[in-house]
């Protein structure tokens, strides 16, 4: 109903502006301003993530080294949340780390770099490395943050094998993500559209 009213008002505005010159434009603008609601401020969470499941034991398929994620950070960012989850079946048996007992090295190594960091000499803002199942709590960071483009990078090596006997199948997998929380604006006249436009 509101959308139909907006359409009728827009057509009315257009026709009056075409017929009555500058005065019609003023009236049209006032009519459109009356129809527009007051924008609301909310927060939006923007994720930057890597997810991968290994499904092979072939040497060319066991390394996963994707392009880093570029994360734009400015003064509006209210929080950064870092999530890291790794599942490596049989990497621990009876409390003993068996991940690297043989030459079958398995690992996930993730780093978050601040803008202009020297990757050869600087320490990452955040870093996590594991060779076994790993589920640390989510980390939360709050301003001030250095403004600019941050980089989330990950390098991993793992294996996957599907056996005719389902219980013997295994697949290493991981998820690494950085979520940026920032204010955004909701426009009520966009009925049915919950898109929150970052400030």
**Token reading at 32:** 């459109």
Q: Which residues pair with 59 in a beta bridge?
A: none
Q: How far is CA 92 from the centre of its chain?
A: 31
- pLDDT at res. 102: 47
- pLDDT tens track for 3-42: 565 565 566 556 655 555 555 556 556 655 555 556 677 8
Of residues 157, 156, 83, the one with CA closest to residue 126: 83
- pLDDT at res. 168: 77
Strand blocks (E) in the chain = 40-53, 63-64, 69-73, 79-87, 92-93, 96-97, 107-113, 126-130, 139-141, 148-157, 160-161, 170-171, 173-186, 197-198
- pLDDT tens track for 130-187: 999 999 999 999 999 999 999 999 999 999 988 888 777 889 999 999 999 999 887 7
- pLDDT at res. 164: 85
**Token reading at 31:** 């009519």
Whether the pTM exceeds 0.75: the reply is no
More confident residue, 199 or 130: 130
- pLDDT at res. 103: 45
């Amino acid at each position: 109903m509101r959308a139909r009213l907006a359409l009728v008002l827009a057509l009315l505005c257009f026709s009056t502006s075409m017929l009555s010159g500058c005065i019609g434009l003023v009236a049209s603008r006032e009519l459109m301003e009356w129809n527009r609601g007051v924008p609301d401020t909310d927060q939006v969470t923007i994720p930057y993530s890597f997810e991968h499941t290994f499904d092979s034991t072939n040497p060319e398929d066991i390394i996963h080294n994707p392009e880093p994620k570029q994360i734009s950070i400015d003064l509006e960012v209210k929080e950064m949340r870092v999530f890291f989850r790794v599942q490596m079946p049989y990497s621990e048996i009876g409390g003993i780390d068996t991940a690297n007992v043989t030459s079958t090295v398995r690992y996930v190594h993730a780093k978050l770099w601040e803008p202009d960091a020297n990757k050869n000499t600087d320490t990452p803002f955040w870093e996590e490395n594991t060779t076994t199942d790993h589920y640390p709590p989510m980390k939360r960071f709050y301003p001030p943050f250095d403004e600019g483009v941050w980089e989330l990078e990950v390098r991993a090596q793992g294996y996957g094998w599907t056996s005719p006997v389902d219980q013997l199948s295994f697949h290493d997998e991981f998820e690494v993500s950085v979520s940026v929380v920032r204010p955004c604006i909701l426009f009520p006249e966009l009925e049915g559209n919950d898109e929150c436009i970052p400030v």
